[in-house]
Every structure is written in C-alpha cells, then in structure tokens.
Amino acid sequence: MKFLLEVDMDETTDSGAAARELGRILRYWGGNLHHYALTAGDGSAIYDSAYKEVGRWRIAEAD
C-alpha cells in the first residue's frame, strides 16, 4: 500500500509561512491517522489553519 498526501501551497506565497502551515498540517493529520483503518480507499480532505480545504490524503494499492 501507499500513503499519498497532496497539499496545494499556491495560496501561501511566503516561504516561512508555507513551512509553518505545512508543518502544522503534517502534525495534525499525522496525529489523526489512528482514527482510520488505513486500508486501500481510506482518505480524507486536508484543511489549513483557516479551515480551507487545501488537499487530500489517501491510501492506495501499491503499483
């Protein structure tokens, strides 16, 4: 299986702010994964600190 994470960083032009926001997203969603079975097809939308959808994570079958 593969864990796939996609985050759209276009709205964050300041590289320092982008790094902080991405770090927050990784900490939050990484800590939240225990709520999922982590089987192929699992996934969820990812939201930034302003609660705007900025991406998704999902579990996929390995190639």
Could you report the per-residue pLDDT of 23-32, keeping only the tens digit for each?
999 998 888 8
The CA-atom distances, in angstroms, between 63 and each of 1, 2, 34, 60 are 8, 9, 24, 9
Find the angle CA(52)-CA(42)-CA(49) to the nearest 5 degrees.
Answer: 20
Per the structure, the complete domain to which residue 34 belongs is given by 2-60
pTM given for the model: 0.78
Domain count, the chain: 1
Chain centroid to CA 61:
18
Instruction: Report residue 17's pLDDT band, with 50, 70 and 90 as the boundaries.
Output: confident
